[in-house]
C-alpha cells in the first residue's frame, strides 16, 4: 500500500496545476511543426501540425466566446472521427466549456435527455445525417442556442456553418487575443473537461463528468504502462463518446506529440492500418475478431503447403509470446525458433496488415476470446488486455508489453488501489475515479462508497502476482434454477472460437440449463460456404444443413471446454448479423443483453419448449 501511495504522490506532483489547455500549449511549443492530425482526402491525407492545430483551437475558443458560451457550459459533438471533432472539443474547453461527444446511435429522446442533463448550449454536428437525430427534439431544447454544422447547415438563425463559425473565431481572436488567453488560463485541474454518457442499454444514459486532473492522471499512468516514444503514429476510429478513444487519441497525443490519423469509416480500417502502420493500436474485441476472421479467410485460399508453413511459424510465435509472460522464461530454443519464423514469414504478415511498427496493441471493453489472443500471439503480436470503465477515466488495470499475463486484465495501474470485495466484486480507489454521476446522487451513492471505493459491478479474481481477471458483470451472472452461478461471457467466448460464429448470447437465468442464440460471421461465412460449393444470403446460409452441421460441431467443441453446468444444451442460429445499427450491440460493440432478450424472446422460449 505504501508503494502505491508513493507512486500516486509522484504522479500527482508531476501533473499538479496542469490542464489539457496547458498540455496543448506545451506540445505546440515543443513540436510546432510535428504533424498532429491527418484527415483522409482523395489521394492521401490533409494534415495539421501542432502549432497550426493550437491556433485553430484558439480561434474556435474565440468563436464560442463570441457566441456567448460561458465557463462550465457544455458543447455537444456528434460526427465521425475527424480533426474538426478534436479541434471543436478542445476549442470549447479553451473557452472554459465542457466537451460532450454524443453517441451517433442515440435515439432523439436520448439526445434530448443528454442535452438537458449536461446543460448543452451549443451543438457541433457533422452533417444532415446527424441533424436528423436532433431535429425531432430541437423544439424541446430551449437552452440550445446554436447548432453549428460542418456540412449542410440549414437556413435560420439557430444554425451556423462551420466556415462562418471559423471566420467569426479568427476575427474575434485577432480583435482581442488576451480575452481567449484569459479564458483558458482560468481553467483549473478540477474543472470538468468532458461529460461522457453511458450507452443507455437500460433506461436513459448516465452522465460521467471527468476533470482535467482525471484525464491527465490517466495519461501519465498510460504513458508509464505503454512506454511509447514521442512522435509516434496512431489511428483514431472508435467514437469519442468512448473513454478509451478519448484517452488514447485525444488526450495522450498532447503528451506524446503523436500523429493521429482519422479513419472515418470502420470499413476502411484495414486499408488505413496499411497506410499508417501505427505504433499504438487499441481495438475492442469485435475489431480483433474481424481481423482474425479476414486473415483466416485469406489463409484458407492458399495452397496446403503454404498453410502448413504458416501454422508452423505461428506455433513458434505463440510459444515465444507465451514464454514471455510474467514469471516465465524464454529459452534460447524458443527465441531462436521465433526469430527464424519471424524473419521468414511472421514479420512479412505483420507488415501486410499494418502492424510491423506496432509497439503497443491492446483490447478492452469486453473479454477478448482466448483463441483470438492466441492467434495474434502466433503472429508475434501481444494483444494485451486493459480494464476500466468510463467512471474510472478508462483503464485502472493493465498489462504492459514487458509485464503481461495472457487471459488477465493485468495489474493495477500506477497509483491505483484495487481489491476484491467479499462478494467477488472488483473495487478501485484512485485519482482516476469520477466524482460521481451528473445529477444522480442516488446513483453516485451506489457507485462510490463512504471510503472512496468505486464499485465496478464486475466480478473478478486476482492471483498471487497481482494480475486481475474479470469473470463477468455482477448483474449479468446467470443463476440457474439449480442455483449454479454461471458467467455468460465465459460460454460466449468459447462459442465464438469457431470462425463461423460471429456473435453468441448465452441465456439461462432461473432456467434448468444454458441455451445460446448465435449469428454467423458475415465476412467468414460466405467464403467458408463458397469453398464448399454453397451459395446464398446470410439468412439462407443459416438454414443450410452443412452450415448447421458445422455450427453443431462448434457448439460441441465449446461444450467440451466447459464445465457440465455451463454447457449449452440447445441453440438457435439466426440469419441476420448483429450490429449497433440493428441495436443488438452498443457503439463499442458489446452485447445489449436486455435488448437481445426482448427482441428474440420467442427464439429463447422456443429453445426451452418441450
Contact 98, 72 (CB under 8 A): yes
* Calpha distance 29→341 (Å, rounded): 44
Q: What is the pLDDT of residues 390-407, one digit of tens each?
A: 999 999 999 999 999 999
Band the pLDDT of 580: cuts 50, 70, 90. Answer: confident
pLDDT over 80 (residue 266): yes
Cα(262)–Cα(48) distance, integer angstroms: 12
Name the residue among 24, 1, 83, 17 with its Cα closest to residue 48: 83
Q: Which of 190-199, 428-437, 530-539, 583-592 has the lowest mean pLDDT?
A: 583-592
For residue 358, pLDDT beyond 60 = yes
pLDDT of 178: 97
Q: Taking residues 157-178, what's their average pLDDT?
A: 97
More confident residue, 584 or 186: 186
* Alpha-carbon torsion angle 73, 396, 238, 184, nearest 10: 30
Average pLDDT over residues 116-136: 96
Using the predicted structure, report yes or no on whether residue 483 has a pLDDT greater than 70. no
Please, what sign has the CA dihedral across residues 289, 290, 292, 293? Answer: positive
* Region of poorest pLDDT, from 56-60, 278-282, 560-564, 568-572: 560-564
The pLDDT value recorded for residue 490 is: 81
Q: What is the pLDDT of residue 482?
A: 64
Residue 494 confidence (pLDDT): 87
Three cell numbers written together for 604: 429463447
Does residue 175 carry a pLDDT above 80? yes
Residue 203 is predicted with a pLDDT of 64
Q: Residue 201: is its pLDDT beyond 60?
A: no
C-alpha gyration radius of the chain: 25
Mean pLDDT throughout 443-461? Answer: 94
Give the chain's length: 610
Q: What is the dihedral of CA 596, 597, 603, 608, to 10 degrees?
A: 150
Among the residue ranges 107-116, 211-220, 239-248, 587-596, the one predicted with the least confidence is: 587-596
Q: Per residue in 518-530, pLDDT tens?
A: 999 988 888 888 8
pLDDT at 342 (0 to 100): 96
Q: DSSP secondary structure string, 89-110? A: HHHHHHTT-EEEE--TT--HHH
Q: Tell me what the mean pLDDT of segment 90-105 comes to.
A: 96
- For residues 250-272, give the mean pLDDT: 95
- The pLDDT, as a whole number, for residue 286 is 83
How far, in Å, CA of 40 to CA of 234, rounded?
A: 14
Does the structure show a pLDDT above 90 at 513? no
Query: What does the mean pLDDT of the chain come to?
Result: 92
Asked if 39 contacts 157 with a C-beta cutoff of 8 angstroms, the reply is no
pLDDT at 481: 63
Q: How far apart are CA 28 and CA 54, in angstroms?
A: 7
> Which domains occur in the chain, in start order?
2-278 (3.40.50.980), 283-381 (no CATH), 406-475 (2.30.38.10), 477-608 (3.30.300.30)
Q: What is the mean pLDDT of residues 224-236?
A: 93
Rounded Cα–Cα distance for residues 571 and 504 (Å): 10
What would the DSSP string read from start to end of 174-234? HH-HHHHHHHHHT--TTSEEEEEE---SSSS--EEEEEHHHHHHHHHHHHHHH-PPTT-EE
For residue 374, give the C-alpha cell.
492466441
| pLDDT value at residue 520 | 92
Residue 570: all three cell numbers together: 440447445
Average pLDDT of the residues in 145-167: 96
202 pLDDT more than 60: no
Q: Which pLDDT tens digit goes with each residue over 311-339?
A: 999 999 999 999 999 999 999 999 999 99
Q: What does the block give as the cell for 67?
A: 457566441
Number of other residues whose CB lies within 10 A of the CB of residue 314 = 22
Residue 158 gets the label, from left (phi > 0), alpha (psi -120 to 50) or beta, of alpha
In this predicted structure, the answer to whether residue 542 has a pLDDT above a threshold of 80 is yes
pLDDT at residue 610, rounded to an integer? 64
Q: Which burial class, exposed, middle or buried, applies to 151 when counting CB atoms under 10 A from its CB (0-12, 13-18, 19+)?
A: middle
Whether 303 and 310 have beta carbons less than 8 Å apart is answered as: no
With 90 as the cut, is the pLDDT of residue 223 above it? yes
* Closest to 225 (Cα-Cα) out of 78, 394, 353, 101: 394
The stretch 257-267 carries a mean pLDDT of 95
- State residue 454's pLDDT score: 97
Amino acid at each position: 500500500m505504501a508503494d502505491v501511495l508513493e507512486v500516486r504522490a509522484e504522479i500527482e506532483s508531476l501533473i499538479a496545476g496542469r490542464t489539457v489547455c496547458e498540455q496543448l500549449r506545451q506540445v505546440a511549443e515543443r513540436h510546432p511543426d510535428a504533424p498532429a492530425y491527418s484527415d483522409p482526402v482523395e489521394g492521401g491525407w490533409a494534415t495539421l501540425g501542432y502549432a497550426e492545430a493550437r491556433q485553430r483551437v484558439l480561434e474556435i475558443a474565440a468563436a464560442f466566446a463570441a457566441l456567448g458560451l460561458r465557463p462550465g457550459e457544455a458543447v455537444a459533438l456528434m460526427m465521425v472521427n475527424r480533426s474538426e471533432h478534436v479541434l471543436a472539443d478542445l476549442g470549447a474547453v479553451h473557452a472554459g466549456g465542457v466537451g460532450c461527444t454524443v453517441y451517433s446511435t442515440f435515439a432523439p429522446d436520448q439526445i434530448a435527455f443528454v442535452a438537458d442533463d449536461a446543460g448543452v448550449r451549443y451543438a457541433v454536428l457533422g452533417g444532415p445525417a446527424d441533424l436528423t437525430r436532433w431535429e425531432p427534439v430541437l423544439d424541446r431544447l430551449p437552452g440550445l442556442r446554436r447548432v453549428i454544422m460542418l456540412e449542410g447547415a440549414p437556413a435560420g438563425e439557430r444554425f451556423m456553418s462551420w466556415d462562418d463559425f471559423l471566420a467569426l473565431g479568427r476575427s474575434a481572436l485577432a480583435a482581442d487575443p488576451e480575452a481567449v488567453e484569459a479564458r483558458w488560463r482560468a481553467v483549473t485541474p478540477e474543472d470538468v473537461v468532458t461529460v461522457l454518457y453511458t450507452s443507455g442499454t437500460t433506461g436513459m444514459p448516465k452522465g460521467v463528468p471527468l476533470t482535467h486532473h482525471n484525464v491527465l492522471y490517466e495519461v501519465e499512468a498510460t504513458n508509464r504502462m505503454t512506454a511509447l516514444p514521442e512522435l509516434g503514429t496512431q489511428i483514431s476510429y472508435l467514437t469519442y463518446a468512448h473513454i478509451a478513444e478519448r484517452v488514447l487519441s485525444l488526450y495522450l497525443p498532447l503528451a506524446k506529440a503523436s500523429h493521429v490519423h482519422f479513419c472515418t469509416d470502420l470499413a476502411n480500417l484495414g486499408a488505413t492500418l496499411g497506410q499508417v502502420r501505427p505504433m499504438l493500436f487499441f481495438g475492442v474485441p469485435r475489431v480483433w475478431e474481424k481481423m482474425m476472421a479476414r486473415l483466416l479467410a485469406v489463409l484458407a485460399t492458399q495452397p496446403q503447403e503454404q498453410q502448413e508453413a504458416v501454422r508452423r511459424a505461428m506455433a513458434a510465435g505463440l510459444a515465444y509470446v507465451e514464454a514471455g509472460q510474467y514469471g516465465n522464461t524464454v529459452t534460447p530454443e524458443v527465441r531462436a525458433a521465433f526469430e527464424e519464423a519471424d524473419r521468414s514469414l511472421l514479420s512479412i504478415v505483420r507488415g501486410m496488415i499494418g502492424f510491423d511498427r506496432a509497439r503497443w496493441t491492446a483490447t478492452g471493453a469486453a473479454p477478448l476470446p482466448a483463441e483470438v489472443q492466441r492467434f495474434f500471439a502466433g503472429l508475434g503480436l501481444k494483444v494485451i488486455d486493459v480494464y476500466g470503465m468510463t467512471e474510472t477515466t478508462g483503464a485502472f488495470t493493465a498489462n504492459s508489453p514487458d509485464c503481461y499475463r495472457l487471459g488477465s486484465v493485468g495489474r493495477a495501474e500506477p497509483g491505483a488501489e484495487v481489491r476484491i470485495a467479499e462478494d467477488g466484486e472488483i473495487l478501485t480507489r484512485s485519482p482516476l475515479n469520477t466524482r460521481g454521476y451528473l445529477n444522480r446522487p442516488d446513483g453516485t451513492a451506489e457507485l462510490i462508497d463512504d471510503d472512496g471505493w468505486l464499485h465496478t459491478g464486475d466480478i473478478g479474481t486476482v492471483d498471487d502476482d497481482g494480475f486481475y481477471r474479470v469473470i463477468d458483470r455482477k448483474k449479468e451472472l446467470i443463476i440457474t434454477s439449480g442455483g449454479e452461478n454461471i458467467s455468460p461471457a465465459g460460454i460466449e467466448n468459447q462459442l465464438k472460437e469457431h470462425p463461423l460464429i460471429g456473435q453468441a448470447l448465452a441465456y439461462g437465468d432461473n432456467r434448468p440449463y444454458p441455451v445460446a442464440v448465435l449469428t454467423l460471421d458475415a465476412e467468414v461465412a460466405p467464403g467458408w460456404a463458397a469453398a464448399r460449393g454453397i451459395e446464398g444470403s446470410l439468412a439462407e446460409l443459416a438454414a443450410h444443413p452443412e452450415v448447421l452441421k458445422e455450427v453443431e460441431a462448434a457448439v460441441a467443441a465449446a461444450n467440451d471446454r466447459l464445465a457440465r453446468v455451463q454447457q449449452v444444451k440447445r441453440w438457435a442460429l439466426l440469419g441476420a448479423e448483429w450490429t449497433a445499427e440493428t441495436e443488438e450491440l452498443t457503439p463499442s460493440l458489446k452485447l445489449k443483453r436486455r435488448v437481445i432478450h426482448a427482441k428474440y424472446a420467442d427464439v429463447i422460449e422456443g429453445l426451452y419448449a418441450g
